[in-house]
A = this chain, B = another copy of it.
């Protein structure tokens, strides 16, 4: 059923960038300031990194109503469908009331976010929804490391936090391992061996742009404390 409500609000899927509040775009700042409701991909704003970044960038939004749209980390199709249904129903109810909603996403909304599924469902229901790009975390990680992600004819390969032994050597040039968290240990030894052999140089940054940011100059230094928000950049050594 498409909305017939010409007074309906607009959903904005907003990338708040990688962590440094000053890396929010001026469009994101304007829209979180102008919107009626902040939607977050979490149960509580205190648990939501995207919300914390937005509030540090624009402190006056701290009093705005928050709509939690929590999608569980599960592959149970029925559980996922129910969560999306509930989240979209809550969003469309506010849009019908004429409220504009800013849905906050860490990094960029088109790269590994749950927002895009919500965006599709809201658009299919006949509402306006707009994607506002943000700086992805891996750009800030490369900036902190002061290394180019790629130059000239080099290719870039981005792998989410799940990969197996040997997968890294399938791709040439730069590899970016996102949200590596626990799964980095599966390839840590492989990376160390390739680095010792002089074939690659691996770098890691955890919690980039946050007060607790840590740069790992050697991949061997990564430990259980390095957490979910760790990005690894693997560069082929020039022959």
Interface residues of A (CB under 8 A from B): 15, 17-18, 20, 22-27, 29-30, 57, 108-113, 116-117, 119-120, 123, 131-136, 139-140, 142-143, 146-160, 162, 171
- How many identical subunits does the complex contain? 2
CA distance A51 to B107 in the complex (A): 25
Partner of A123, one of B139, B146, B157, B162: B146
Q: Which residue of B lies closest to A75 (CB)?
A: B152
6 A-B residue contacts at CB 8 Å?
A17-B25, A26-B29, A110-B139, A116-B151, A131-B146, A156-B158
CA distance A119 to B136 in the complex (A): 21
CA distance A150 to B142 in the complex (A): 20
CA distance A25 to B110 in the complex (A): 18
CA distance A14 to B127 in the complex (A): 36
CA distance A147 to B13 in the complex (A): 12
Q: Which residues of B are found within 8 Å of A158, using beta-carbon distances? A: 150, 155-158
Q: Which residues of B are found within 8 Å of A15, using beta-carbon distances? A: 135, 139
